[in-house]
Amino acid sequence: MKKTNFFDIHQKLGAKIIDFAGYQMPVMYLSMIEEHKTVRHSVGVFDVSHMGEVFVRGERALDFVQHITINDASKLTDGRVQYSAMCYPEGGIVDDLLVYKIADDEFMLVINASNIEKDFYWMKDNNQFGVDLVNESDEFSLLAVQGPFAKDTIQKICDKNLDLEYYYFFNAKVAGVDMIVSRTGYTGELGYELYFKGDQKIAEKVWNAIFEAGESYGIKPIGLGARDTLRLEMGYCLYGNDIDQNTNPLEAGLGWITKLKKEEFIGRDAILKVKENGLNRKLTAMISDQKAFPRPGYEISASGKVIGKITSGTVSPILEKPIALGYVDKDYSDEGSKVNFVIRGKEIPAEVVKLPFVKK
């Protein structure tokens, strides 16, 4: 089991540690609900160093990225980030990822921890472009600093003016350490993700500087549990739950990143066919007023029959109601549609709503 450079800190803080994607990661420190609210109302720090970073370098770097991802990376200028996905020829999803354009001949792809090996093989297998692919996942620490006071916190210890637009990045020094500062996140809040190299001493120096800078805003460490409830309130997909090799991006609601006008990419033909034939099911957001909580794998029913399955479900700490994502038969997936969560044999009334669950 791998540890990040912050493991000793997590332990000292009394975090509950779980095995996640081959890493020992903090799932919560004291209370998921408190941590969740800290990010919505103040500022919180996530250790997400388990995420993977693959660098694509070479003259044909853009051609490679265009071939392997479904969004249009040619639209990126240096210093921009794009949410995208990689698909199989059959249209299923290999992984969702962030594409960072560093230069015409250099991109950074940020992938899910649980998929690092699979993705890296997939990239190497599909490299007809002679690009260099380097998996630097083990070298990078990654902290996500998220919440309304994230900017005020990081600005105090950053050597550059932090007026980054959403989905832009630059290189800067934070706490005196060189890093990629990216205005991205998985929470729906103002926030930054900080990618940097170095040993445990450097990592702890950065962590401590951030906590000192954020002290007056009530900054707190946030575990993976709250990371999941925060992303679910926004309706962001989680690979392995809401998307995987058996779901295509159109039914997953990722049509907005699927650029079928792009001449060629892996999976394009299959996804075009899906579009022509129409969708049978859609990833759908549902909410209930009852005190019963939908969990992944539970069935969804309507008109006395099973019409879908939950892929993510929890209690929303902000709305204090059960919320869920799940694949639902297209006849029942329109906003306002009445469905039921089937929870331990009981039908719990729920309604299809528009995302995000929590409006910003």
Residues at the contact surface with another protein, assessed by CB under 8 A? 16, 27-28, 31-33, 225, 228-229, 291-293, 295, 314-315, 317, 344
Six-digit token pair at 235? Answer: 């309706």
Give CA–CA dist 44/31, Å, rounded: 13
Q: Indicate the residue among 267 and 317 with the shorter CB distance to another protein.
A: 317
CB of 317 to another protein, least distance (A): 7
Give CA–CA dist 287/319, Å, rounded: 10
Q: Indicate the residue among 16 and 118 with the shorter CB distance to another protein.
A: 16
CB of 31 to another protein, least distance (A): 5
Q: Indicate the residue among 28 and 252 with the shorter CB distance to another protein.
A: 28
Q: Indicate the residue among 184 and 229 with the shorter CB distance to another protein.
A: 229
CB of 260 to another protein, least distance (A): 37
Q: Indicate the residue among 19 and 78 with the shorter CB distance to another protein.
A: 19
> Residue 84: which of 167, 164, 145, 163 has the closest Cα?
167
Looking from the CA of 96 toward its CB, the CA atoms found within 13 Å total 20
Residue 25 β-bridge partners: 18
CB of 210 to another protein, least distance (A): 25
Six-digit token pair at 78? Answer: 């240096």
> Residue 110: which of 92, 124, 96, 123 has the closest Cα?
96
CB of 320 to another protein, least distance (A): 8
Six-digit token pair at 313? Answer: 């479900």
- Burial of 330-350, coded b for 16+ CB within 10 Å and e otherwise, reads eebbeeebebbbbbeeeebeb
Q: Indicate the residue among 43 and 315 with the shorter CB distance to another protein.
A: 315
Q: Indicate the residue among 53 and 242 with the shorter CB distance to another protein.
A: 242
CB of 326 to another protein, least distance (A): 16
Q: Where are the alpha helices (DSSP H) in the chain?
A: 7-12, 32-41, 61-68, 116-125, 150-155, 200-214, 224-234, 268-277
Give CA–CA dist 102/207, Å, rounded: 25
CB of 291 to another protein, least distance (A): 5
> Residue 89: which of 271, 252, 281 has the closest Cα?
271
On the question of a cis peptide bond just before residue 356, with omega within 30 degrees of 0, the verdict is yes
Q: Indicate the residue among 25 and 274 with the shorter CB distance to another protein.
A: 25
CB of 256 to another protein, least distance (A): 29
Residue 324 carries which side chain, given as an amino acid letter?
A: A
Dihedral through CA 315, CA 317, CA 321, CA 325, nearest 10?
-50
Q: Indicate the residue among 69 and 288 with the shorter CB distance to another protein.
A: 288
CB of 27 to another protein, least distance (A): 7
Q: Indicate the residue among 46 and 120 with the shorter CB distance to another protein.
A: 46
Could you give the maximum distance between any two Cα atoms of the chain, in Å?
62
CB of 33 to another protein, least distance (A): 5
